Chains A and B, each alone.
Chain A
Amino acid sequence: MRGDLNTALNPIPLYKQGVEEEKSELARLSCFAGAMAVGDLIKTTLGPKGMDKILQCSMSGGPDAGKLLVTNDGATILSKIGIDNPVAKVLVDISKVQDDEVGDGTTSVVVLASELLRETENLLAQKIHPQTVIAGWRKATDEALRVLEGIAKNNSANPEQFRKDLMNIARTTLSSKILQGKKDYFAKLCVDAVLKLHGKTDLQGIQIIKRLGNNMSDSYLEEGFLLEKRIGINMPKRLENARILIANTPMDTDKVKVFGARLKKKKMKDKVNKILQHNCNVFINRQLIYDYPEQLFAEKGVMAIEHADFEGVERLAQVLGGDIVSTFDTPDKVRLGKCDLIEEIIIGEDKLIKFSGVSQGQACTIILRGATQQILDEAERSIHDALCVLSQTVREPRICYGGGAAEMMMATAVSQLAEKTPGKESVAIESFARALRQLPTIIADNAGYDSAELVANLRAAHTAGKSTYGLDMDKGVTADMVDLGIVESYHLKRQVVSSAAEAAEMVLRIDNIIRAPPRQRQRDMRNH
């Protein structure tokens, strides 16, 4: 028997040193703990009365060291906090995808996923197998999405109503953000900006310029276009009926060092002359313009603007309706950009170039003003969220009602399904409905109302067939969302439900976590 004893006393290492393994119950525990921690972390930011978070970047190293960030945006919060729990990382990822896909609802999706997992903890305690739970959830998700599609409305055929919808969506999105005080103003701003894009979802056409100072309500949408550049010296500062050549070409000297200045000058002069043949009076280049060509342009009375960044040039081309040119041999083929007036304006302390009266208004600029950098940053994020949602809505014009109405609607339908379903799956389906109902509960909690009372009232209203009822967080009552105009995009809601269910299912299937030891970093000895 000595052999057996020896085997028992000599544990056989299976894994590499430092590998940790968590199995079944323990693994599930750490999954749920991670998911709930993340959910609890950001659930206070949900809804119109949600709170903000301060994030401070780590003090050591990096350009952002010690920078402060005040935000309400789920994706921003989650992307900035370092997370070690694997499941928490899954949740961070779905919020990021939500951000990329729709732009808003990044908090809701994480909260829903974590509430689903919280429900599961109870189910597993009742000895229901995870796979049974998953099977139930799938039925519940399908039912929820079916109902959601049923209530989604499409008003895109009626431009006036559609515009009203867009305004409502923008207002709803902005109402949880720092801009809520001026949400009507900003909603209008965003809707105008998005409608200018004519159905394109590429938000590059909308430029947001932030300038410190003044009040937030001094922000405005510039009809024309603003470029954060200076006009060259000795050139006209104001120009009417501009014909603009947008170029992307080197206006410095060649890399080959040859016979010095004389030749270079000649070459440059040739190039400038060619450019002038285009009969333009404004020349905008993406790259640098050196002193000599600048001087040449000045002599001819042509306004030259150098070093407009890449996006700036593309945007300009869109706005002004011109080509981006790199060779200058075929002046007749090139479309020049046109605008009525170019002038230098001053916002705050900075000089900007303003192009007004542009021919193709497919791009525009939003100028944000505010008292501190944090306010400006948060305002920019909020505007960005609103723009994203709006541009997606233009593409998928169906809408549904917010304020917890859509969630409650789905929850009611899912509950009914649970009653009809035989077997253990029914319990899982009911848990899905409970998780959905958590969203209005959290919204009410965050606003400081009696959530149990409100949500019960809401549920009763929905069961009685008032499917557009939601929570009015200004008065603390249940109300018809149609009257309040609290509207959300259908695409957003659908994405929240399907993505949260997908992630929760994925987490629930895990029964084993194997953690590799962190990669050992070599100490950087170069400076020692």
Chain B
Amino acid sequence: MPSVGTLAFDEFGRPVLILKGQESKKRLFGIEAHKSHILAGKAVADTLKTSLGPRGMDKCMVSPDGDITITNDGATILSMMHVENEIGKLLVQLSKSQDDEIGDGTTGVVVLAGALLEHAEALLDKGIHPIRIADGYELAAKVALEHLDKIAETYPLDLKKLDPLINTAMTTLGSKIINRCQRQMAEIAVNAIMNVADMERRDVNFELIKVQGKVGGRLEDTLLVKGVVVDKTFSHPQMPKEVRDAKIAILTCPFEPPKPKTKHKLDITNVEDYKKLREYEKEKFTEMIKAIKDSGANLVICQWGFDDEANHLLLSHELPAVRWVGGPEIELIAIATGGRIVPRFQELTAEKLGFAGHIRELDFGTTSEHMLCIEQCKKSNTCTIFVRGGNKMVVEEAKRALHDALCVVRNLVRDNRIVYGGGACEISCAIEVAKEANKIPTIEQYAIRAFADALESVPLALAENSGYSPIKTLSDVKAQQIAQNNPRLGIDCLNTGTNDMKAQTVIETLIGKRQQISLATQLVRMILKIDDIRLPGEAEE
């Protein structure tokens, strides 16, 4: 009786209510609860399965407001799928945590978790207790992770030879729509990371990389700007559109004459006072401009606006200015140009100015839209990836894909060990785990074997999406791997003629894979341990 609460009866046969509102609450427990969880988990995984791999398909999501997102990125799909089922939500979070931690492999982790759940179902039918399954999975995951470390190869990280990094980024980009210009995008991502990477700390500050999109042009027109691009223009139409060797004053104080605000109490009792006030205003303002001029700046970037008079005064003093630059952008400009953000005019000094070699306005197409491009900065370790594309959806998807590629390259900078993709490492782990299963004396060995089977679901899905007969392809590759003892053999998705992933340079990061296996196992273990689910009934109107 899954949907009715437990009833207890007293000696007269009357029901005793144990929980409040018992009739309206839904309850699921025991084996039914497990079954329903597994079903939900599988449903989510099935949706994502077709997006896996270089031949994977995209999903089109329509938001409540009618906006469209077309994407291949697991985390994005799941977060926009409006999943309501509790277990479904857990999988959504699983993919999100993979995204936050690693940035790539968000589809793979969900597919793996789905497969683990599916195999657990078969074991449950055999009558194995969920806890034993969970423990078995745990053991198997340990074996798999150890094996991964064994087959991982250390990658040479050489700043002069970026090819290996580019290959990894290309693997990530392979499944996205922008694989049309895969090489170019991968180079952009690698160059961007190399630009900002701190090789001593082996870390990358993502804040220094901005990905800015603008519809129009082609994907091939995407470029990496070693500097900052802001969606702003010079404040006065007659200011020069190009500044060279700019010394930049970065201000966060309002650049306007002090106006009497409503809060101030200002007693103006006669004409003289009023005149004085006006004089004072003017004086203040010329002071401000003088302060900037004195510091040697020839460009002003201001977080606030300034009124017409200020604008003209700046123009007549030949000080080009940009107004209404938002917080994060102003910080980026400050970092890039090596300037300091100045909160008060009094504190403006020559040392606090930023420097940029070349600042120009870019204009696009026929819409008279402009952007400001700041290049040749003093500290050139900020950069902007400027994405172009034929429509809004492509640009958005390209931005997501580039983010993934950036994450992967960053992960390599942090930890330069790699494994081979295309399902190669999964197959290798599956073989190892299956071998290990036979050595276990307890009934956990069933679970461990199931884990090995589940690992094979990733290459299976890859083969299926690529249009091969999945089981035949997988068994061929598996046999080859065992025969040649070569963990680098995977599924040849692009039909290039070889299934050696080293030759195809299909490379994934070790931490990404590790994370996938351990996160998926953890989540499945958690789901298997739930045996009772209670839903609040409909709120009484």
Residues in A lying within 8 Å of B, measured CB to CB: 3-4, 6-7, 10, 12-17, 19, 21, 24, 27, 31, 84, 86-87, 89-90, 93-94, 97, 99-103, 129-132, 138, 201-204, 248-250, 256, 258-259, 262-263, 266-267, 314, 317, 323-327, 330, 333-334, 388, 391-392, 495, 498-500, 502-503, 505-506, 509-519
Q: Assess whether B366 is interfacial by the CB under 8 Å rule.
A: yes
The answer to whether B81 and A317 have CB atoms under 8 Å apart is no
Name the distance in Å between B273's Cβ and chain A's nearest Cβ: 9
The answer to whether A327 and B309 have CB atoms under 8 Å apart is yes
The answer to whether A502 and B219 have CB atoms under 8 Å apart is yes
The answer to whether B368 and A203 have CB atoms under 8 Å apart is yes
Name the distance in Å between B192's Cβ and chain A's nearest Cβ: 23
The answer to whether A326 and B313 have CB atoms under 8 Å apart is yes
A90: which of B32, B70, B82, B217 is its contact (CB, 8 Å)? B70
The answer to whether A511 and B3 have CB atoms under 8 Å apart is no
A509: which of B64, B177, B236, B278 is its contact (CB, 8 Å)? B177
The answer to whether B31 and A327 have CB atoms under 8 Å apart is no
Segment touching A, from B36-44, B152-160, B446-454, B513-521: B36-44
Segment touching A, from B53-61, B164-172, B348-356: B53-61
The 7 closest A-B pairs by CB, nearest first: A326-B312, A499-B390, A511-B57, A519-B64, A509-B58, A388-B366, A101-B365
Determine the distance from Cα of A103 to Cα of B31 in the docked complex, in whole angstroms: 63
The answer to whether A15 and B271 have CB atoms under 8 Å apart is no
Determine the distance from Cα of A512 to Cα of B46 in the docked complex, in whole angstroms: 11
The answer to whether B316 and A256 have CB atoms under 8 Å apart is no
The answer to whether A326 and B84 have CB atoms under 8 Å apart is no
Whether A499 contacts B391 in the complex (CB less than 8 A), given A7-B35, A7-B36, comes out as yes
B363: which of A31, A93, A201, A248 is its contact (CB, 8 Å)? A201
B32: which of A6, A138, A517 is its contact (CB, 8 Å)? A6
Name the distance in Å between B39's Cβ and chain A's nearest Cβ: 6
Determine the distance from Cα of A3 to Cα of B270 in the docked complex, in whole angstroms: 92
Closest A residue to B260 using CB positions: A256
A14: which of B59, B85, B312 is its contact (CB, 8 Å)? B85
* 28 pairs from A and B in contact (CB 8 Å cutoff): A3-B32, A7-B39, A12-B39, A14-B85, A16-B83, A87-B60, A90-B70, A90-B391, A100-B215, A101-B216, A101-B366, A103-B365, A131-B57, A201-B366, A203-B366, A256-B260, A256-B268, A324-B238, A324-B312, A326-B311, A510-B57, A511-B57, A511-B59, A512-B60, A513-B59, A513-B61, A514-B82, A516-B80
The answer to whether B467 and A129 have CB atoms under 8 Å apart is yes
Binary contact readout B73-94 vs A (1 if CB under 8 angstroms, 0 otherwise): 0000000111111001000000
The answer to whether A509 and B368 have CB atoms under 8 Å apart is no
Determine the distance from Cα of A202 to Cα of B312 in the docked complex, in whole angstroms: 22
The answer to whether B238 and A10 have CB atoms under 8 Å apart is no
Determine the distance from Cα of A21 to Cα of B50 in the docked complex, in whole angstroms: 15
Determine the distance from Cα of A12 to Cα of B39 in the docked complex, in whole angstroms: 8
Whether A249 contacts B309 in the complex (CB less than 8 A), given A7-B35, A263-B271, A514-B80, comes out as yes
Q: Which residues of A contact B260 (CB under 8 A)?
A: 256
Determine the distance from Cα of A516 to Cα of B260 in the docked complex, in whole angstroms: 51
Determine the distance from Cα of A12 to Cα of B364 in the docked complex, in whole angstroms: 50
Name the distance in Å between A317's Cβ and chain B's nearest Cβ: 6
A515: which of B62, B365, B467 is its contact (CB, 8 Å)? B62
The answer to whether A325 and B55 have CB atoms under 8 Å apart is no
Determine the distance from Cα of A153 to Cα of B271 in the docked complex, in whole angstroms: 72
Residues 191 to 249 of chain B near chain A (Cβ within 8 Å): 215-219, 236-238
The answer to whether A90 and B68 have CB atoms under 8 Å apart is yes
The answer to whether B316 and A506 have CB atoms under 8 Å apart is no
Whether A97 contacts B312 in the complex (CB less than 8 A), given A13-B85, A86-B62, A506-B58, comes out as no
Closest A residue to B318 using CB positions: A333
Q: Which residues of B contact A388 (CB under 8 A)?
A: 366
Whether A103 contacts B366 in the complex (CB less than 8 A), given A93-B391, A503-B390, A506-B393, comes out as yes
Q: Which residues of A contact B50 (CB under 8 A)?
A: 24, 511-512
Q: Which residues of B contact A100 (CB under 8 A)?
A: 215-216, 364-367
Determine the distance from Cα of A528 to Cα of B226 in the docked complex, in whole angstroms: 57
Whether A101 contacts B63 in the complex (CB less than 8 A), given A131-B55, A327-B316, A388-B366, comes out as no
Q: Which residues of A contact B31 (CB under 8 A)?
A: 3
Contact size range, B = 35 or more
The answer to whether B365 and A516 have CB atoms under 8 Å apart is no
- Known contacts A15-B82, A93-B391, A506-B393; 5 further A-B pairs (Cβ under 8 A): A27-B60, A502-B218, A506-B397, A509-B72, A513-B62
The answer to whether B368 and A202 have CB atoms under 8 Å apart is yes
The answer to whether B392 and A93 have CB atoms under 8 Å apart is yes
The answer to whether B59 and A317 have CB atoms under 8 Å apart is no
**Candidate in B43, B180, B366 with the most chain A CB atoms within 10 angstroms:** B366
Determine the distance from Cα of A269 to Cα of B215 in the docked complex, in whole angstroms: 51
Closest B residue to A329 using CB positions: B282
Q: Assess whether B477 is interfacial by the CB under 8 Å rule.
A: no
Q: Which residues of B contact A89 (CB under 8 A)?
A: 66, 68
Name the distance in Å between B476's Cβ and chain A's nearest Cβ: 20
The answer to whether A506 and B366 have CB atoms under 8 Å apart is no
Closest A residue to B53 using CB positions: A131
Q: Which residues of A contact B55 (CB under 8 A)?
A: 129, 131
Whether A514 contacts B81 in the complex (CB less than 8 A), given A6-B32, A100-B215, A502-B390, comes out as yes
The answer to whether A14 and B88 have CB atoms under 8 Å apart is yes
Determine the distance from Cα of A110 to Cα of B311 in the docked complex, in whole angstroms: 44
Whether A258 contacts B274 in the complex (CB less than 8 A), given A7-B39, A502-B391, comes out as yes
The answer to whether A102 and B180 have CB atoms under 8 Å apart is no
Q: Assess whether B308 is interfacial by the CB under 8 Å rule.
A: yes
Determine the distance from Cα of A314 to Cα of B311 in the docked complex, in whole angstroms: 14
Determine the distance from Cα of A391 to Cα of B366 in the docked complex, in whole angstroms: 8
Q: Which residues of B contact A517 (CB under 8 A)?
A: 64
Determine the distance from Cα of A327 to Cα of B50 in the docked complex, in whole angstroms: 65
Q: Assess whether B315 is interfacial by the CB under 8 Å rule.
A: yes
The answer to whether A334 and B316 have CB atoms under 8 Å apart is yes
A86: which of B40, B60, B215, B364 is its contact (CB, 8 Å)? B60
Q: Which residues of B contact A327 (CB under 8 A)?
A: 309, 312-313, 316
Whether A94 contacts B391 in the complex (CB less than 8 A), given A84-B66, A101-B217, comes out as yes
Determine the distance from Cα of A448 to Cα of B30 in the docked complex, in whole angstroms: 72
Name the distance in Å between A367's Cβ and chain B's nearest Cβ: 21
Q: Assess whether B347 is interfacial by the CB under 8 Å rule.
A: no
